[in-house]
Amino acid sequence: MTIKSLSRNIENDFPFLKGVVYLDSAATSQMPAQVCEAMSEHYKLGASNVHRGVYEWSVRATDRFEDTRKKVAEFIGAGDERECIFTGGTTDALNTVAQSWGETNIAEGDTVVVTLMEHHSNLLPWMQLAERKKAKLLWWEVTDEGELDMAQLPAILAAQPKLVALTWVSNVLGTINPVESLIPQLKEHGATVVLDGAQGVPHLPTDVKKLGADFLAFSAHKMMGPTGIGVLWGKKELLEAMPPCRFGGSMILSVRQDRVRWAELPHKFEGGTPNISGVHGLGAAVDYLQSVGMDKVRAHELELTTYAFEQLSQLENLIIYGPQDPAKRSGVLSFDFHGIHPHDLATLIGREGICARAGHHCCQPLLKKFGRQGTTRASFYLYNTRADVDALVAALKKAHEVFKEVL
């Protein structure tokens, strides 16, 4: 399926994008009409809490809620939907692993590995845990080409790490890490692997069995769903052994004055009233992506990213960070243009209708390696077209004209 045909098939589902070039999906993607309607139905048809209610509204809400869990499990290739925990998002999911598995399993002297390209959400929880537990924090460096330094792998394996925090796809460089070949090596040396899938699951076909990680975290709002809802997938035997780390309603079997019995999976990690409409929206987003096909999503973005490289390379003094081979990256392009400050550049192209992001993208250690405090970032999704790339190039040229006299 070509970019043109794919875009024409879905453009009616995103009517609000007409006249706007939205290139910030790595931060938050747009929701198709089907997702908005699924969330609205929860309130239009009678809002109710899930579980334990025996009247029609509650039963309907509960059925839709748990049906989404099954859809998510199928979408990521999980064998058991009870392995899928609903969370507030990727950040919440990763913190849950750190606060539960980490507090229970990391001890003084253990080695915890984090990569330099991690988003702060898969970095700070482990830095804090290592400090509390007096564990060793080992950094996996990044090459000048924006890839994990494989020359360091033997030393990492020799360190016998207890845990490795690894991103599937960099939200700054777009780098797609070769996780399917790396994770088995890490596990052979005793590591538990926590995979940040926030930029991977929305854009790449996902099968947790093939990935091989012990935990996978991702967010709905980066895959055309709503904010405030995400998923933590974990291997059942690990989740069953982990204590809950949020306490309240819905996550217990019984409470007595002298003891507490926790609920079974997945509910022991879902204390409190959940984001019900958000879960319904996530379910609709999964349906939408399944109807398109994740292979087609990837092919669309690869073709678009290749075209973007071709067009942007014609601009003088534009530096794209990360792998220069589009096949090794996602549709995330962080760049520097004539040394113009990222916020100034994003502001100017924003006046031309280009929605792009500027800043450190919650990856300050990584940007420091490249001598940058921030970049301008454009990121693509299945609703973007070649015309969007052309509009970006035209806006960058116009921005350069504005700054030409002072550069």
Here the tokens at position 353 are: 């209708």
- Helices assigned H by DSSP within 45-171: 56-76, 90-97, 103-105, 124-133, 153-158
Distance CA 37, CA 283 (A): 12
pLDDT tens, residue by residue, 269-300: 999 999 999 999 999 999 999 999 999 999 99
Topology, domain 35-291: Aspartate Aminotransferase; domain 2 (3.40.640)
DSSP 24: B
Q: Average pLDDT in the 183-195 region?
A: 98
Q: For residue 236, which of 66, 97, 81 has the smallest C-alpha distance?
A: 81
CA 278 to chain centre: 16
Q: Note the pLDDT of residue 381.
A: 98
Examine the pLDDT at 405 and tell me if it is beyond 60: yes
Q: Note the pLDDT of residue 51.
A: 92
Topology, domain 3-23+293-406: Aspartate Aminotransferase, domain 1 (3.90.1150)
3-state secondary structure of 37: helix
Q: Note the pLDDT of residue 10.
A: 86
Q: Note the pLDDT of residue 11.
A: 85
Of 8-12, 35-39, 60-64, 177-181, least confident by mean pLDDT is 8-12
Catalytic residue ranges: 362
Examine the pLDDT at 1 and tell me if it is beyond 50: no
Distance CA 299, CA 301 (A): 6
Q: Average pLDDT in the 209-213 region?
A: 98
Q: Average pLDDT in the 250-274 region?
A: 96
Q: Note the pLDDT of residue 5.
A: 55
Here the tokens at position 407 are: 């550069």
Distance CA 302, CA 146 (A): 18
Examine the pLDDT at 8 and tell me if it is beyond 60: no
Q: Note the pLDDT of residue 407.
A: 59
Examine the pLDDT at 250 and tell me if it is beyond 50: yes
Contact in structure between 298 and 1 (CB atoms under 8 Å)? no
Please determine whether the domains at 3-23+293-406 and 35-291 fall in the same fold group of CATH.
no
* β-strands 192-196, 215-219 pairing: parallel
Q: What is the value of pTM for the model shown?
A: 0.96
Here the tokens at position 155 are: 């030393």
Non-local (6+) Cβ contacts of 263 within 8 A are: 250, 251, 252, 253
Domain boundaries, the chain: 3-23+293-406, 35-291
* β-strands 357-359, 230-234 pairing: unpaired
The mean of the pLDDT values for the chain is: 96
Q: For residue 205, which of 238, 176, 170, 181 has the smallest C-alpha distance?
A: 176
* Proportion of the chain above pLDDT 90, given as a percent: 93
* Proportion of the chain above pLDDT 70, given as a percent: 97
Q: What is the DSSP string of 150-210?
A: GGGHHHHHHT--SEEEEESB-TTT-BB--HHHHHHHHHHTT-EEEEE-TTTTTTS---HHH
Q: For residue 286, which of 53, 31, 107 has the smallest C-alpha distance?
A: 31
